[in-house]
Amino acid sequence: MVAKKVCIVGSGNFGCAMAKIIARNTARHADFETGVTMWMFEEMVEHKGIEKKLSEVFNETHENVKYLPGVELPSNIKAEPDLKKAVEAADIYIWVLPHQFVPKIVSSMGPIKPGAVSVSLIKGGLELEGGKLGLCSDLLRKLLGHSVSVLMGANVANEMATDQFCEATLGCREIEHQAMLLKLFNCLTFHVQAVDDIAAVELCGALKNVVALGAGFCDGLDFGGNTKAAIIRIGLAEMMDFIRFFFPEAKDATFFESCGVADLITTCFGGRNRKCAEAFIRGKGAKTWTDVEKELLNGQKLQGTLTAEELWPVMKQHDLFGRLPLFTMIYQIAFEGKAADCIVKLPANTRTLCKHVTGKQRGERCRKHVRNNSPVLLLLGLLFVAGRAAGYCHAVKLTAPAFSALGGRPALRCSLTA
């Protein structure tokens, strides 16, 4: 078998953290060429008092001194600022850059090798085409003309880069690609589970950033844990409702993979969207989102606000405002000047994480879910155990992705029978 060449398209904070995992795996699996090329947008940085090109500094030091300082990446990664040279003859493309740049990047790439495949780590990029919701992976599939899988999960880049345990979910329909891609991503500190539910995996990765804005609003108002927990729960319910509206075939279990509830937990307690939303509220109208982004993100891009803006016309066209009151309120606070404390003035909430059924149907469904180890009931039934595990995480100073992982897939592996 001919070893496959891997190219990472993007070199920011998350891209470099993922590159560290990928490069280690290409070095230990014969399925891949050892060397990994990473396309790096060229910019000037000051390094040891001298202004130099970022790609040159990276290739000399194996450190992205601007976006992931203090972390040495494997020596088999080469930064290439020339896009056409970076992607030339690649068999596997890993996409990890802000979604708004995708069309321009693809149009500048040149010929794509026949038989190549892509994996998108991009969160966001929603659009309506003829009333149908289009995803960023759909756009990549259309532009590239080949198979596109997705990888999402509770993955804070700085923690991944220091080898702290976390998980991710690979959304991949082609069985023949799953084993190869799992070899590329899975390792001792980064556990990857493959599912075929691409739309749900990808949309969870996008929508959780909107919910994280709501969590950040709570922090900016100095609300406590109870309030944030309520926002997270309502947010998860609305994520599920939105996804099922456009993709009714979405599977319950997907929402309880790392891409779903675990990523939502991590993002609402850690990530850049929560942090910027808190700063936006504390600014009391004196700072725009652009101001906050420039002040806090060191050149990185905020995705939650972009996704909220993309959601708005979709919700409007399909009359989803009443059905998704939290998403609606988050947008109005972020962009229409609504008072931030309205985040807790939602309509009386009867929403649950299960479909609405009553009486005998509900009893039978519950019994069926228990027999099938439904993730919803397992999560409830194992809440005490997960709480104990979370305590152990804190005791040994594990962080949000590890915490959310212990509350997620390992718990789902426990056996529960009716």
Q: List the helix and strand counts (H, then E) for the chain.
A: 19, 12
Quote the pLDDT of residue 377: 47
Task: Give dist(CA 22, CA 12) in Å, integer.
Answer: 15
Run of H or E including 352: none
- pLDDT above 80 (res 397): no
Report helix, strand and coil shares of the chain as percent, to nearest 5.
Answer: 50, 15, 35
Report the share of the chain in percent with pLDDT over 90. 77
In this model, does residue 372 exceed pLDDT 50? no
Summarize the confidence of residues 396-410 as an average pLDDT: 53
Q: What is the pLDDT of residues 200-255, one digit of tens each?
A: 999 999 999 999 999 999 999 999 999 999 999 999 999 999 999 999 999 999 99
- Residue 51 buriedness (CB in 10 A; 0-12 / 13-18 / 19+): exposed
Q: pLDDT tens for residues 9-31?
A: 999 999 999 999 999 999 999 99
What Rg do the C-alpha atoms of the chain give, in angstroms? 21
For residue 398, what pLDDT is reported? Answer: 58
Structure-token match 């990523």, residue found: 263
Select from 260, 238, 282, 220 the least CA-distant residue to 376. 260
Find residue 46's DSSP bridge partners: 51
Tell whether the model's pLDDT for residue 415 goes beyond 70.
Answer: no
CB neighbours of 382 closer than 8 A, spacing ≥ 6? 411, 414, 416
Instruction: Summarize the confidence of residues 84-112 as an average pLDDT.
Output: 95
Tens digits of residue pLDDT in 42-82: 999 999 999 999 999 999 999 999 999 999 999 999 999 99
Residue 16 near residue 28 (C-beta atoms within 8 A): no
For the stretch 165-211, pLDDT in tens is 999 999 999 999 999 999 999 999 999 999 999 999 999 999 999 99
Residue 298 has pLDDT above 90, yes or no: no
Taking the C-alpha atoms of residue 197 and residue 169, their distance in angstroms, rounded to an integer, is 10
Decide if pLDDT at 115 tops 80: yes
Confidence bin at 126 (pLDDT 50/70/90): confident
Count of CB atoms situated within 10 Å of the CB of 386 = 18
The pLDDT of residue 163 is 96
Residue 351 reports pLDDT greater than 80? no
Q: Is the separation of the CB atoms in 183 and 218 below 8 Å?
A: no
Q: What tokens does 116 get? A: 């190549």
pTM for the whole structure? 0.85
| Interatomic CA distance for residues 211 and 254, integer angstroms | 18
CA distance 63 to 71: 6
Strand partners, 169: 152, 193
pLDDT recorded at residue 400: 53
Q: Between these two residues, 94 and 133, which has the higher pLDDT value?
A: 94
b/e map 18-31, b = 16+ CB within 10 Å: bbbbbbbbbeeeee
Alpha-carbon distance 120 to 259, whole Å?
A: 13
Q: What is the mean pLDDT of the chain?
A: 87
For the four alpha carbons of 281, 285, 287 and 288, in that order, the dihedral sign comes to positive
Q: What is the pLDDT of residue 362?
A: 45
What's residue 348's pLDDT? 75
Positions marked catalytic: 208
| Neighbour-count burial of 67, counting CB atoms closer than 10 A to its CB (0-12 exposed, 13-18 middle, 19+ buried) | buried
Residue written as token pair 């099938």: 372
The one-letter code for the residue type at 358 is T
Assign 269 a pLDDT band (cuts: 50, 70, 90).
very high
CA 236 to chain centre: 14
